[in-house]
Amino acid sequence: MIEFFNEDLPLPEVLNEKTKRWIENVITAHGKHKGHINYLFCSDHHILKVNQQYLDHDYYTDIITFDYCSGNVISGDLVISLDTVKSNSELFDTTYDTELHRVIIHGILHLLGFKDATDSEKAIMRKEEDKALSLLSTFH
């Protein structure tokens, strides 16, 4: 089950059943099964509190991924700052919706085992994000 929640900002309009099917398709394309995946969309203020409380990090970020995967079942809680998504879309000269979808699938890719700590891992992550984004049009 994939569910969308919001904390202190309204949910973006692009979050719908088609988005859920797209996420599930990316998961199954990697040979995994969908478990319980919860997205919480919030402000920079809220994600900073989550980062401080759970990870002992004192900075803003676009996404925090809590991994509850077991075997081939992908499960987790993903916290996304819509403020940072908006500022990143401006920084990277892309649309808000494109950046939002990139961050949504970025968290799923982490749950699938992809990392982004090194330059080579970042390059692989970006390639996987782009591949997933290319599938999005078939669901919208």
> What domain range includes position 77?
2-136
What are the residues whose beta carbons fall under 8 Å from the beta carbon of 39, sequence distance 6 or more? 2, 3, 4, 5, 15, 78, 79, 80, 104, 107
Contact of 42 with 8, CB cutoff 8 Å? yes
**pTM (predicted TM-score):** 0.94
The 10s digit of each residue's pLDDT in 43-101 is: 999 999 999 999 998 998 999 999 999 999 999 999 999 999 999 999 999 999 999 99
Domain count, the chain: 1
The 10s digit of each residue's pLDDT in 115-131 is: 999 999 999 999 999 99
CATH number at residue 43: 3.40.390.30
Three-state DSSP class for residue 138:
coil
Residue 11 has pLDDT above 90, yes or no: yes
Query: What average pLDDT does range 130-134 have in this prediction?
Result: 95
